[in-house]
A = this chain, B = another copy of it.
Amino acid sequence: MRLKLGMVGGGQGAFIGAVHRIAARLDGHWDLVAAALSSDPARAAASAAELGIDRSYENYLDMAVAEAGRADGIDAVAIVTPNHLHAPVAEAFLRAGIHVICDKPLTATMAQAEHLAKVVAESGKQFILTHNYTAYPLIRQARAMVASGALGTIRLVNAEYLQDWLATPLEQTGSKQAEWRTDPARSGVGGAIGDIGTHALNLAGFVTGLQVTQLSADLTSFVPGRRLDDDAQVRLRFAGGAKGLLWASQVATGNENGLRLRVYGDKGGIEWQQENPNVLRFTPLGQPTQILTRAGAGSWPQAARVSRTPAGHPEGYLEGFATIYAEAAALIAHAKYGTPLDPAVTAPGLADGMLGMRFQVACVASSQADAAWVNV
């Protein structure tokens, strides 16, 4: 069945709003029918017209009320605002009985996050957090491989997320993207650690199933005048004894969107890179490394379930994002209309978001204490 989607944020010039719209369309589960695309009413209306969205609202509060009151109202809202608005917008829609699909990180502050957690619990509605990287087919497979014991006991986890787009003081040159991401009032306590470090953490946890117990973080603002960290180096200790390194940087010159995961166990190891995501390197200890490809020889059902094309036909970032929307559709249709639910459906949600917030806060606390160990 097709569901009806609303959107808050994501007007002209925003990157992630366009991504959510493509992701919602790609598998045909959603129609975008309502939106409050900008806090600037003129811009909101112009954006909606350009996108052919029938119901354009001047603010999200009106939208939540109006949509809840319509027989053909939206089934879910996608929240693609800067971080500090995630919580109030989500609350408005959840209180109105509307399911939520929210961009990460969860909120700008821990207080917001804790409040939102209560609201979600009280609402009984679905809350999907778009940690899209967990939806790459070979990441699904990697998770299944770890769970199956193919790597043995995990010893080492290395997650990197390296970019260079903030290697200069871009926020001082009028870049909207750079401005809010380096502004504590809109982003929260974390810069790189929040924007991309949470993705790396989420990916590592998703694949390994391991729980971080302690961390030690060293955050740096390399660019003069920058108010949030643009480099974060975090040591992780996991329950059970595994150790990890997480490195998130937005000043690593020469890296575009270098999310990379390496997991080494006592029976095998895997390596994966987001920029060429259709390949997973797997080394069973003492045997040659195998190149596992999405949908190719050596692919697992968990990868096939979220693949759309045969091996050798590269799927990328938007397909992974679309899988989040497909899984969200399945969960919300099940919740709202009772459609049957494939037990394999999984999507990141509130718990992932809360962990991301606790992680950010712990990193900042650790870094302020000169990288002391902090419990998570």
CB-defined contacts of A318 to chain B, threshold 8 Å: 26, 308-309, 313, 315, 318-319
Would you call B249 and A220 a contact (CB within 8 A)?
A: no
Q: Within A300-353, which residues are at the interface with B (CB < 8 Å)?
A: 308-319
Instruction: Tell me whether A257 is interfacial, beta carbon within 8 Å.
Output: yes
Instruction: Tell me whether A176 is interfacial, beta carbon within 8 Å.
Output: no
CB-defined contacts of A370 to chain B, threshold 8 Å: 373
Write the A7-44 contact mask toward B (1 if CB under 8 angstroms, else 0): 00000000100110110011110000000000000000
Q: Which of B28, B218, B256, B314 contacts A296 (CB 8 A)?
A: B256
Question: Taking the nearest CB of chain B, how far is it from the CB of A165, in angstroms?
Answer: 8
Would you call B257 and A243 a contact (CB within 8 A)?
A: no
Would you call B15 and A310 a contact (CB within 8 A)?
A: yes
Question: Taking the nearest CB of chain B, how far is it from the CB of A2, in angstroms?
Answer: 6
Would you call B235 and A371 a contact (CB within 8 A)?
A: yes
Q: Which of B243, B282, B316, B373 contacts A313 (CB 8 A)?
A: B316
Closest to A315 in B: B316
Q: Within A104-132, which residues are at the interface with B (CB < 8 Å)?
A: none
Known: A216-B371, A288-B291. A245 touches B247 (CB 8 A): yes
Number of interface residues of A (CB under 8 A): 84
Kindly state the separation between the CA atoms of A15 and B21 in the bound complex, as whole angstroms. 25
Closest to A310 in B: B15
Would you call B275 and A278 a contact (CB within 8 A)?
A: yes
Question: Taking the nearest CB of chain B, how far is it from the CB of A238, in angstroms?
Answer: 12
CB-defined contacts of A296 to chain B, threshold 8 Å: 256, 288
Instruction: Tell me whether A71 is interfacial, beta carbon within 8 Å.
Output: no
Instruction: Tell me whether A265 is interfacial, beta carbon within 8 Å.
Output: yes
Would you call B283 and A288 a contact (CB within 8 A)?
A: no
CB-defined contacts of A19 to chain B, threshold 8 Å: 308-309
CB-defined contacts of A289 to chain B, threshold 8 Å: 254, 290-291, 297
Known: A308-B18, A312-B163, A318-B309. A293 touches B26 (CB 8 A): no
Closest to A293 in B: B256
Write the A267-294 contact mask toward B (1 if CB under 8 angstroms, else 0): 1111100111110011101111111110
Kindly state the separation between the CA atoms of A184 and B152 in the bound complex, as whole angstroms. 28
Would you call B256 and A243 a contact (CB within 8 A)?
A: no
Write the A341-376 contact mask toward B (1 if CB under 8 angstroms, else 0): 000000000000000000000000000001101000
Q: Which of B51, B268, B316 contacts A319 (CB 8 A)?
A: B316
Can you list 5 A-B pairs, Cβ within 8 angstroms, ordered by A?
A18-B308, A21-B28, A151-B253, A252-B264, A287-B298
Interface residues of A (CB under 8 A from B): 1-2, 15, 18-19, 21-22, 25-28, 51-52, 151, 155-156, 158, 163-164, 167-168, 216, 218, 220, 222, 231, 233, 235, 243, 245, 247, 249, 251-258, 262, 264-271, 274-278, 281-283, 285-293, 296-298, 308-319, 370-371, 373
Interface contacts beyond A253-B264, A254-B270: sample of 17 additional A-B pairs, CB < 8 Å, sorted by A: A15-B309, A22-B28, A25-B26, A26-B318, A156-B222, A156-B249, A158-B247, A164-B283, A235-B235, A251-B264, A253-B267, A254-B264, A286-B297, A288-B293, A291-B291, A315-B318, A318-B319
- Report the 7 A-B pairs with minimum CB-CB distance, sorted nearest first: A257-B312, A256-B312, A254-B283, A253-B269, A288-B298, A314-B316, A254-B269
